[in-house]
Amino acid sequence: MAGGAIIGVWTPKVDNPTPDEQAAGKVVRQVTAIASYRWQNRTLRATFHGTVEIQLDTTRIRRRLDSKLDSIMGMVPAGLR
């Protein structure tokens, strides 16, 4: 595909955002994209650096608990939680 664009899809993992990031509702990460391609019988490599802001859905943020504690919390009556 000469002169064409290649579109990539990336789904970032946002593990353990800090309390400040949770309060702001976004996570900022540094990313590097590396493209390797053939041109005139040579392999070329291009590197691009950038910053990505990921908006957090604050209604879905859930603090992870130990699996044993999580199962115990499931057995507690709703009125006591």
Angle (CA) 71-74-78 rounded to 5° is 160
The DSSP bridge partners found for residue 30 are: 51
Phi and psi at residue 25, in whole multiples of 5°?
A: 80, 15
In this structure, how many other beta carbons lie within 10 angstroms of the beta carbon of residue 21? Answer: 16
If DSSP codes are grouped into helix, strand and coil, which group holds residue 24? helix
Which pTM does this prediction carry?
Answer: 0.49
Tens place of pLDDT per residue across the chain (81 aa): 456 677 777 777 777 788 888 888 888 888 888 888 888 999 999 898 999 898 887 776 666 556 566 566 566 666 665
Which residues, at least 6 apart from 54, have a Cβ–Cβ distance to it below 8 Å? 12, 14, 26, 27, 28, 29
